[in-house]
Structure formats: structure tokens, C-alpha cells
Amino acid sequence: MPIQSPVWRSPITASDRVLLEIQRAIVEGDIPAGSKISEPELARRFNVSRAPLREALARLERCHLIERTPNAGARVVKLSPEGLLSLYQLREELEGLACRLAAENMPEHEVDELSALLDQHLNSQRVREGESYYQEEGDLDFHYRIILGSKNAYLINILCDELYFLVRMYRVQLGMNGPRVSRAFDEHKAIITAIANRDGELADLLMRRHIGASRKNIEIQLLQMRNEHDISN
């Protein structure tokens, strides 16, 4: 089940439906990265005319999943190590800020809910150890809730609507699940505790460190992949 944007309007129009389908297809690699997008073909495939399809394409460009050139059409973005690092640099800053603001603005009940959710995940995780469920769904949910708790509309929009589809795309396609599952629990717990204590500065620092650790983890994996590739050639 795909995680859909929290600031999402209930999908009513044809362009909404098509957008969701193409988003999923791109994120999961069903439409390969770097491939050209043919408007007539996609329109047939989803049984709509080109008008709502182009509306959907405009929104896909907004969340950086495709790139369009006038009179030349659209291509699915190519994933690159540099792009991934750029993305994580941004996340460090933005989610750090989100934590600081959440410590000020997140309502008490939202903090409690998130805290309870973490405990719940921890228990269900201990049962079937190793399952990478948490890293996928739970991790994103955790980050989403804190971002929403910041109550900064621009920040929420940029992170949830524009950048997080890319994060998911990188995770799925590069298989960046990582062995950090158990450590992520503790880090998440520490972050929400800081927010509960209304210690914005600490929450900020912990979140930066949390994402920074992911980034370094990714850098290591990328290095390994490159080495394997070099050896095999």
C-alpha cells in the first residue's frame, strides 16, 4: 500500500487518479528511470485523453519525478549518487527545522499518538525480526508526522509533496533499506522525547544526526556498489 501525501485532496478527477498511478509506477521502477514518456501511449494505457494526463505530468514535474523540455517531451528522472546526496543534504536542514518547529507547535495529543505508535511498532517489529517493514512504512510515517507537526505550510509542502516521492524512489530502486533498523528505533524515540520535552534545539540536532547517519550509510553502500562493479569488469 503506497503512502500517500498527507496534504492530499481526495482523488476525484481523472488527472488525480492518473497522477497516483504514474507516481507509483515511477517510484517502483515500473516505468524505468531515465526513460522517455510518450503522452499518447500513457493516455491510452490509463484510458484518459491527453488533457488530464498533461495535468498529471505537470504535477509529476513538481515532485521531481520527471523532467520536461518544451516541444521535446518528458523523461523520468535519472537517479544518481550526487542527486541522492543532494536530497539528503536538503533533508538534514529541512527536517531539522521541522523538529525545532514541532517542539514549539506540535499539539500534545499528536506527540502522544506518535510516541504510542513508536512503541507499537517496536513490539510488532520484535516479533518478526529482520522484516524491513518498519524501515519502509514506519520510518516514513514517523518523519511525515513530525513534518506535519511543524505547522509550517511551506515546509510541509516541500517535504511531503515534493521531496518524499524521490526519497521513496531512491529507496525502492537502489534498495537502500540498510541494516540500521534497530538503531533507527532508538533514534526516533530520542527525537520524539526531545519534542515532548519541548526541547527544539535538541530535537533539531538529533534529527540532523539521524538523517546524517542514513546519508553516511548510503555513501558506504554506494562505495561498495562501485567497487563490486569495478571488480566485475
Q: Would you tell me which residues interact with DNA (CB under 7 A)? A: 13-15, 36-41, 47-52, 54-55, 68, 70-74
Shortest Cβ distance from residue 76 to DNA (Å)? Answer: 12
Residue 37 binds which entry of DNA, a second copy, none, with Cβ cut-offs from 5 to 8 Å by kind? DNA
Residue numbers 13-52 binding a second copy by CB under 8 A: 13, 16, 51
**The binder of a second copy chosen from 65, 76, 114, 163 (CB under 8 A):** 163
Confirm if 44 and 6 have CB atoms less than 8 A apart: no
Q: How far is CA 193 from CA 35, 119, 186, 200, in A?
A: 44, 12, 11, 11
Q: For residue 83, what is its C-alpha cell?
A: 542527486
Q: Are 195 and 205 in contact (CB under 8 A)?
A: no
Q: Please state the closest distance from residue 156 (CB atom) to DNA, in A.
A: 22
Does position 155 interact with a second copy (CB under 8 A)? The reply is: yes
Rounded CA separation 190/208 (Å): 12
Strands (DSSP E) along the chain, which ranges? 36-37, 66-69, 73-76
- By CB under 8 A, residue 94 contacts a second copy: yes
Nearer to a second copy, 77 or 118 (CB): 77
Closest CB 125 distance from DNA, rounded Å? 40
Nearest to 98 by CA among 31, 34, 54, 151: 151
Binding of a second copy by 4 (CB under 8 A): no
Helices (H) and strands (E) in the chain, counts: 11, 3
Residue 62 or 183 with smaller CB distance to a second copy: 62
Work out the burial of residue 170: count CB atoms within 10 Å of its CB; fewer than 13 is exposed, 13-18 middle, 19 or more buried: buried
Cell of 58: 505537470
Told to check if 75 binds a second copy by CB under 8 A, we report: no
Q: Which of residues 98-117 bind a second copy (CB under 8 A)?
A: 101
The item of a second copy, DNA, none sharing an interface with residue 14, based on CB under 5 to 8 Å by kind, is DNA
Q: Which does 58 bind (CB under 5 to 8 A by kind): DNA, a second copy, none?
A: a second copy
Burial 214-230 (b: 16+ CB within 10 A, else e): bbeebeebeeeeeeeee
Residues that bind a second copy (CB under 8 A): 9, 12-13, 16, 51, 54-55, 58-59, 62, 64, 69-71, 83, 86-87, 89-90, 93-94, 96-97, 101, 152-155, 157-158, 162-163
